[in-house]
Structure 1
Amino acid sequence: MSATETTASATATGQQPHAIASALARGERPARPNALSTSVTFGWRALLKIKHVPEQLFDVTLFPVMMTLIFTYLFGGAIAGSTQDYIAYLAPGILVQSVLFITMYTGATLREDIDRGVFDRFRSLPIWRPSALVGMLLGDAVRYSIAALVTGVVCLIIGWRPGGGLTGVVLGVLTLLVFAFGLTWVWTFLALLMRSQRAVMGTAMMILMPLVFGSNIFADPSTMPGWLQGWISVNPVAHLVDAVRALMDGASAGGEMVWVIGWSAALVAVFGSLTMWKYRDPR
């Protein structure tokens, strides 16, 4: 290679980084997305997954219908004398049960994304760190709302007539969604902590079973043994059911609402912090 060619090559090499930098510097750099916009984007991503895999809606449609029909017609006559009388008591509780059982699928879905390496990419993006998790929970809130709507419609068809009207039902569902949002942080932490979807689902089921079935969803606690009444008195799901039932019946839920808000805030504070700690340091 001649001296002239060597000089030209060196000049071109020296100018290449400058040319690249000049090209990249053209125009204004877009503003960094804020926390709200990134969370909404990830929420929309969660909804698009339902669009592409509509079978995911089976758990928010078929499951609530089956649970409502089974418990109403299996226990209605034995507990209340008729299904008409029993559905008035059961409907708010079965709404709570249907939504709470669905929340554990959030942890399973997160574990699947982690196993596929999706969240490794999310961690590298210049965005608000919790937005991937918060957005996922916001998207799942739509699924919970669908489950509540389906369950409510089935209860109305059976004969449920809430004393609080539409306003009471909406307030009850909103209260349920607030608690479900707090509870879901427990499953997100388990998803980051455990190594498989099966482990997350199994652990979530073990936690939910005593909370849901050891509550006042299906029967009046005054008919139960004293030790079980003691458990129900401190069971957060029982306080949630009391609050939702009062709102839907058009009664005051002041004291129970304090319990629900307190439990929801505690779950977010404790398990939300643990989730973000584990999310930042996945080792």
Structure 2
Amino acid sequence: MKPLVSDNVIMTANRPIWKKLHSAIASAFLASHIRTQAGLTADETMLFRKRLQQLSKGSEVFSIEDEAAKLVFDIVRHIVFNFPPNAQTEGCSYLEGLKETIELFNAQLSKNPLIKLKATTRTEWVGKRVDISIAAKTCERFAALRSEIIVRSRKDPLSILDLLLRETVLQAGTEKGEKAVELPAGGLKLLLTKDFFSFIYMLLEKHLEIGQKLRKEHNAIFGRSLASGLEVLTESPIKLNDMEYTTAVIKESLRLFPVGFGVKEAPAG
């Protein structure tokens, strides 16, 4: 994963760096905090649903992976950076750049030296373009946090970026905000290395009986009405804990298609 997301990301770091990153962002992954994002996730998923309805009425083949990537990107972008989500409605150059980076990374595994050289050169250019854009936004947030009188606590973060910048802010700006830029930028790339939704949809299409069981569980917990289901989800996100069968489906899909399994090279020979 290092060529794609750099060394200083929790998935590739070790020892002191890993410990520091884990300590900084652990609170963002607590179940109590994740449940507070249920409303955001529901709103973005409704846009995704509307988009699929529009596409299904046409006769042209479309990529569900591309559409799912926009949904995942908007949710992750908001949670990680607290940037306004707009990839589903307006498109986003960040997303296109990150997708191209992943495609180019796979192209670098080619045995053709010309293709490999071209992909490597292009990867560096696209990577720098994405990192510069994210770095600019990160520095803006760093400046905004320094100007605030109260620094948000670890238990109540607005974003994972706030958690990563918190220590630097508390040190009264003795370090430059740019030093924290690489960490969230790499983390966003990591979260976008696999469009997991696509595999769940594929598996459900091949196993219709599983989809029926999923709907039965969803109807039992949230009701048959979409409006009432959204209301229950928003007001009582703790009910997500009752979705035992849905959780099992997600875990089994991850077992069959692990995150990051596509960016690897077979041993020589």
Same-fold call, TM > 0.5? no
What TM-score does the superposition give when structure 2 sets the normalisation length? 0.32
Instruction: Name the structure with the higher helix share.
Output: 1
Larger Cα Rg: Structure 1 or Structure 2? 1
What TM-score does the superposition give when structure 1 sets the normalisation length? 0.30
